[in-house]
Structure formats: structure tokens, C-alpha cells
Amino acid sequence: MSIPYKVAKEPGEIPALFVDAWMKKDADYLASLFSENTEFVNVVGLWWHNREDIRKAHAFGFEKIFSESNLRLMETSVKYLNKEVAVVHARMRLKDQTPSMADETPSIRQNIFSFVVKKSEDKWICESAHNTDIIPGADTNLVDENGKLKSVKY
């Protein structure tokens, strides 16, 4: 990654930079926000163990799934664990995802991202991220007798 991408000077900037990279559909820029041996769990539980896997997955996503998508940052909170480590939560909204054969008109999705970030010299970098979809009106997920996952309210 030879292009000098924007870097986070404060932990709470990570979600905004993630959105900036997303909106530019730039997988290299997005991956630059993460350390070399980072961990990332996406909304369906795919688990990537390094920056290059994150880059490849997002490059595929920007080409096939999210080419016309719009990601918007709605809210951010930062909890410092010490002077060099923080947990950053961010609520985001995704619209205009590419339709699939299963659903020709995807709705707007909302999610919560959890980023564990660490100060590295003069910038903050993500060491771990977890993306979780918000399912309106649901309390948990169940697997039915056919092995299908569905969100339910209790």
C-alpha cells in the first residue's frame, strides 16, 4: 500500500475513515486502517485473520455486492481501556446494496461495529473489528427444524 491514506489521529476517527474508504470503494484504503495481523468478523460470521484477507474480502464486496452502496456513520462512542488502547463502537446505515437472486430489493440495513484500536506511533490502528447487523424488533436468533436461521422476538 504505497498511497498515503488518511490515518486516525484519535480512536474515534476510525469509523469515519472506514466509511470514507467504503464510499470510495477502495479496499486498499479500508485495509490500511487495520494492523497486519488484525482480526475481523463480518455480519455473517466470516472471520478474517489479517489485513490482506480483509482487503481481498472488501475488494470482492465492492465489485460484486456493494458497488452502488452508500454507508453512513450515525453514531460513535469511544471507551479508553488505557492511554494506548480503546474500544470504539459505531452505528452505521447501509443502503443500495446490490440485489441478489434471493432478494431483488434489499432494504436499508443498520449495523453496529466494534473496533478495538491501538495507538501506534502517531496514529491509531484497528487490531480487531466485529460487524453486527441490527434486526429491528428482534431479541435473538433461532435455528428452526430445517436448519434455517431466523430472528425472533420474545
CA distance 66 to 43: 14
Residue 102 lies in a domain: no
Domain of residue 112, CATH code: 3.10.450.50
Residue 101 lies in a domain: no
Residue 152 has pLDDT above 80, yes or no: yes
Residue 5 lies in a domain: no
Residue 100 lies in a domain: no
Residue 79 has pLDDT above 80, yes or no: yes
Is residue 9 within 8 Å of residue 117, measured between CB atoms? no
Instruction: Report how far apart, in Å, the C-alpha atoms of 126 and of each of 13, 30, 31, 79, 145 are.
Output: 11, 11, 10, 14, 39
Residue 22 lies in a domain: yes
For residue 75, give the 3-state DSSP assignment: strand
Is residue 118 within 8 Å of residue 83, measured between CB atoms? no
CA distance 130 to 112: 8
pLDDT of res. 72: 98
Q: Which residues contact 6 (CB under 8 A, 6 or more apart)?
A: 17, 20, 29
Q: What are phi and psi of 100, to 5 degrees?
A: -120, 175
Which residues span the domain enclosing 147?
Answer: 11-95+108-152
pLDDT of res. 104: 73
Q: What is the number of alpha carbons within 13 Å of residue 7 lying toward its C-beta?
A: 13
Task: Specify the amino acid at residue 116.
Answer: V
124 has which bridge partners? 8, 119
Residue 29 lies in a domain: yes
- The total of structural domains in the chain comes to 1
* 92: Cα separation from own chain's centroid: 9
pLDDT in tens, 19-77: 999 999 999 999 999 999 999 999 999 999 999 999 999 999 999 999 999 999 999 99
pTM for the whole structure: 0.91
Residue 72 lies in a domain: yes
Residue 45 lies in a domain: yes
Share the mean pLDDT of the chain: 93
